[in-house]
Amino acid sequence: MATVKTATLTFRIDPGLKEALRIAADQEHRSIANMVEVLIRGHCERHGIAIPHSEQTKNNNGARS
């Protein structure tokens, strides 16, 4: 399977929000980056915003790898 490169996102955030994000990520056994991705995907799903998917990012079960 081909490797798909990821994009880098850099932004500034209030230290309190960063700490809350770290706690949320820890509670779900996720990295901060993965937690941000989960939050963005959830927001888009709730608001009907389509997220373009590359077929290379899916495994045989349709789940992201």
Burial of 45 (0-12, 13-18, 19+ CB in 10 A): exposed
Specify the pLDDT at position 54.
Answer: 67
Confidence tier at 1 by pLDDT (50, 70, 90): low
Tell me how crowded residue 14 is: count the other CB atoms within 10 A of its CB. Answer: 8
Name 58's bridge partners. Answer: 64
pTM above 0.95, yes or no: no
Mean pLDDT of the chain, nearest integer = 86
pLDDT tens digits for range 39-64? 999 999 999 999 998 654 454 444 55
Question: What percentage of residues in the chain have a pLDDT greater than 70?
Answer: 77
Q: What is the pLDDT of residue 4?
A: 74
- Structural domain spans, the chain: 15-47
- Note every long-range contact of 30-33, with CB atoms under 8 Å and residues 24 or more positions apart, other chains counting: none
